[in-house]
């Protein structure tokens, strides 16, 4: 992997991690187009740079992380389902990543759902993020487990989960961002621990790429989060639905055209 390729992947990560468009689908497409999808380092790189992305949430909303103990209790409650199912289903999830048709189909189905989400929840969007109960946090956490199916999008699942709990769009999106911090940190830490446990190690050049990737992902994610909130509150989910459908069709077309589409 070159520096330019690392920067491009980090830009993709920063742009898509918090948008309901599946960062996994974009990583598959980006790494495959650059011809580095099967490199062992690409696999760990795409996971490790998530750390930079989640730091952007802490940087943007740092006051919320010092607001109250109750904030952390709600995050813990929402995080527990993913921690349990993620551990139990880790190998199965990795196997699904090897099947690009799964990612493409879930992108398509999610896109269709997004065409109607605004209509379904328009009348029920009444609560702000401060109104999240423990029960609502658990429900959102269960929705997050659906995102273990590659292509669903963690952001999409948790935002829709928030909407089912009568949160408004902005509150649902922001809680999705907050929940990403423990969830993605745990996933990243686990993958890196597993990498070292199985005898892997980084050379200096790879460490440099990881540093660059995390910095780029951090900066791009800052901009993406701000833009996403603005677009979501003004235009709703339909635009993301069309985008997901287009990306899903593109992945299917590339797959059946014989391109190797996998980052696992």
Give the burial string for 223-258 (b: 16+ CB within 10 Å, else e): ebbeebbeebeeebbeebbebbbebbeebbebbeee
pLDDT of res. 81: 93
Strand partners of residue 167: 127
Among the residue ranges 1-10, 36-45, 98-107, 118-127, the one predicted with the least confidence is: 118-127
Q: pLDDT tier at 65 (50, 70, 90 boundaries)?
A: confident
Mean pLDDT of 21-39: 81
Alpha-carbon distance 100 to 263, whole Å? 10
Q: Distance between CA 168 and CA 213 in Å, rounded?
A: 33
Residue 260: the pLDDT is: 61
Averaged pLDDT for residues 45-61: 91
Listed by start position, the domains of the chain span: 3-256
Label residue 43 by pLDDT band (50, 70, 90). confident
Rounded mean pLDDT of the chain?
85
Q: What per-residue confidence (pLDDT) applies to 1? A: 85
Average pLDDT over residues 250-263: 73
Mark out the alpha helices in the chain (DSSP H runs). Answer: 3-16, 23-33, 40-48, 50-60, 69-97, 100-121, 134-146, 154-164, 169-197, 204-235, 238-256
What is the distance between the alpha carbons of residues 161 and 142, in angstroms, rounded to a whole number? 8
Summarize pLDDT for 2-16 with one digit per residue, the tens: 999 999 999 999 999
Q: Which of 40-44, 126-130, 190-194, 195-199 has the lowest mean pLDDT?
A: 126-130
Contact 103, 97 (CB under 8 A): yes
């Amino acid at each position: 992997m070159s520096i330019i390729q690392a920067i491009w992947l980090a830009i993709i990560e920063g742009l898509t991690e918090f948008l309901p468009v599946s960062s996994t689908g974009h990583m598959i497409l980006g790494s495959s187009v650059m011809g580095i999808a099967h490199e062992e380092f690409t696999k760990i790189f795409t996971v490790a740079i998530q750390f930079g992305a989640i730091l952007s949430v802490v940087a943007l909303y740092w006051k919320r992380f010092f607001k109250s103990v109750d904030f952390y209790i709600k995050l813990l409650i929402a995080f527990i389902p993913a921690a349990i199912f993620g551990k139990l289903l880790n190998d199965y999830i990795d196997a699904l990543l090897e099947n690009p048709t799964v990612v493409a189909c879930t992108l398509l189905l999610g896109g269709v759902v997004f065409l109607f989400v605004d209509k379904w929840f328009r009348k029920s969007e009444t609560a702000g993020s401060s109104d999240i109960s423990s029960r609502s946090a658990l429900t959102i956490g269960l929705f997050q487990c659906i995102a273990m199916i590659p292509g669903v999008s963690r952001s999409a699942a948790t935002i829709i989960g928030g909407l089912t709990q009568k949160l408004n769009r902005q509150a649902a999106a922001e809680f999705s961002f907050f929940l990403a911090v423990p969830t993605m940190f745990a996933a990243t830490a686990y993958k890196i621990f597993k990498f070292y446990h199985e005898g892997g190690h980084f050379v200096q050049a790879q460490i440099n790429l990881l540093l660059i990737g995390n910095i780029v992902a951090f900066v791009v994610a800052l901009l993406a989060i701000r833009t996403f909130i603005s677009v979501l509150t003004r235009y709703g989910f339909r635009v993301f639905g069309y985008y997901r459908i287009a990306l899903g069709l593109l992945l299917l077309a590339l797959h059946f055209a014989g391109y190797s589409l996998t980052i696992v």
